[in-house]
Structure 1
Amino acid sequence: MWRKYTHHYRKAQLAAEHWWSYVTNSVYLVVMTMLGQVLSCSIVAYAFSRLNWPGREALFAILLATMMLPAQVTMIPVFMIFEKLGWYNTLRALWAPSFFGSAFFIFLLRQFMKSIPNDLEDAAKIDGCSFFGIYWRIILPLVKPALAAVCIFTFMGTWNDFMGPLIYINDQRLYPLALGLFDFRAQHKTDFGMLMAASTLMTLPVIALFFLAQRYFIQGVTLTGMKG
């Protein structure tokens, strides 16, 4: 009985010619996207939550309003921009937008940063710490739970992204797993046993990440919005 199931898993690993390139591309996209989201969103959230400057609240309201725009509205303009930049059929088109931040993640981190007492920041300023030093040495270590939530959301979104690679990637060697499974299905005429085995292998990293980081994830979600 178990031989039948292990046979499908071995077949799923060996039958797809580019299986390991799919895995490598997905891991690369996940790492770059997580790095971009964490850096860009945390810096912008720090500016919105801890720095006082004219028009801050109005600009933050505009940022939140962008969340109401459906992705289909910007899909064609963004594609045209990336094509003119020479990013079509490259992985750069999939991870580069993460370095411009996400409105939802900025909101999440801003609410968490607002709960940090101002006394810590004032003490750091008295000691001569710069704004960037406060961000790097004080704020970031205290928002690890929120950053963990951002990383998990980003990991799941990037790992399971199908539409982005379908639009920008034409070379099979650059396919991530989500798009590779679709090609996997087309090549082998829908061998459902093999397809389900490959799909299970694809979901294992997501499940493992959640169990390893669930404490930080739950803490980041529950504490966001609380003021100290």
Structure 2
Amino acid sequence: MNTTTLRKDSTETGAPPAAPAPAPPGRRGELGTTVGRVLLYAGLIVLAAAILLPFGWMLISSVKTDNAVFTVPIQWIPEEFRWQNFTEIWTDIPLLTYLGNSLFLSVTITVLQVLTGSFAAYGFAKMQFPGRDALFLGYIATIAVPWQAYMVPQYIMMEKIGLVNTHLSLILLQAFGAFGVFLMRQFYMTIPDEISEAARLDGLSEYGIWARMILPLSKPALASLALLTFVNTWNDYMGPFIYLTDNDLWTVQLGLRQFVGMYDARYAMIMTGSVLSVLPILVIFLLGQRYFVQGIATSGIK
């Protein structure tokens, strides 16, 4: 029985013609998907290599001699490996003191920014009071003001109260941040208001709601803010450069400046110190990357 007979029989009986069987998925679509995935991964690998290239150059330069750092073309495999750079740097400059100062400032400022930012964000997100939105908008607008615009007035204030050349000046100036308030407030907005309303009915105060209800739900956002604040404080150069003049108070970013002389610079030791200064940030990011990704990609509902 051929196709013409089937169509004739279906026409005579009044039944609709049978639909053709769906064609099996072709290999062309699967091949296109595979090729697209390969191209995507290849592009990501190239992009990752481009991002890591400066870090790799810094790592290799840390075991070179000074005159081999800026050779043209770049020597990716140095002729002489100076592993003693990582031991000499501890005696050439008080690197341990600088690292300790950087760690103290970074941890202190991070804790204060997380505390003040999360507490202020709770007021802007979960409490009702006149002018709340206008106050939040004005506070966030300060992010657009460059630091150079109020750098001099801040220094004059610190000088008048006698806090120049102290760590306390940097701590007070960086203990509050509009970006941290904005980040935490946006995260708090994803937490249903019914949670805080139920806690109020149970008799909790606003401090109790913030500490016992909101903060436990905000660990990813808190970790994100802590990581960003720590990295920004650790890498800060201009702040310590302006306010700290005593060598015992310098951070590691200022300490590496000692390898820059009037007529020459010890570039290999600068790279060695830079590698050592990156290690704490790398460790902290590896420990907190899971919470950092969650703080960006998830809401406050568990």
TM category, shorter: over 0.9
Shift of 1:220: 0.9
| C-alpha distance after superposition, 1:189-224 (max 9, x if no partner) | 522222211110000111111111111111112236
Quick one: structure 1 residues 5 and 138, their matched pair in 2 at CA, closer, same or farther if it must change by over 3 Å?
Answer: farther
Shift of 1:64: 1.6
Quote the residue 1:158 is aligned against: 233
Q: As a proportion of its length, which structure holds more helix?
A: 1
Q: Does 1:71 align with 2:71?
A: no
Q: Which amino acid aligns with 1:32?
A: T
Quote the residue 2:81 is aligned against: 4
SS of the aligned residue for 2:83 comes to: helix
Distance 2:262 2:81 in 1: 22
Q: Does 1:20 align with 2:96?
A: yes
Q: Does 1:136 align with 2:245?
A: no
Quick one: structure 1 residues 188 and 22, their matched pair in 2 at CA, closer, same or farther if it must change by over 3 Å?
Answer: farther
Distance 2:285 2:263 in 1: 32
Shift of 1:29: 0.2
Instruction: Report the identity percentage.
Output: 39
SS of the aligned residue for 2:260 comes to: helix
Quote the residue 2:51 is aligned against: none
Q: Structure 2 stretches of 5 or more lacking a match?
A: 1-77
Q: Does 1:177 align with 2:252?
A: yes
Quote the residue 2:292 is aligned against: 217
| C-alpha distance after superposition, 1:71-103 (max 9, x if no partner) | 11010000000001111011111111233x211
2:259–2:267 contact (8 Å) kept in structure 1: no
| C-alpha distance after superposition, 1:95-153 (max 9, x if no partner) | 11233x21111111000001111222122112211100000011111111111111111
Query: Normalising by structure 1, what TM-score?
Result: 0.92
* Paired residue total: 225
- Trace 1:88-127 onto structure 2 (pairs within 5 A): 88-99=164-175, 101-127=176-202
1:12–1:195 contact (8 Å) kept in structure 2: no
Quick one: structure 1 residues 33 and 197, their matched pair in 2 at CA, closer, same or farther if it must change by over 3 Å?
Answer: same
Distance 1:87 1:183 in 2: 24
The higher relative CO (CA closer than 8 Å, separation ≥ 6) is in: 1
Which is greater in Rg? 2
Out of 251, 255, 269, which is 1:194 matched to?
A: 269
Quote the residue 2:160 is aligned against: 84
Query: Normalising by structure 2, what TM-score?
Result: 0.70
Shift of 1:5: 4.1
2:259–2:266 contact (8 Å) kept in structure 1: no
**Cα RMSD after superposing both structures:** 2.1
Shift of 1:184: 3.4
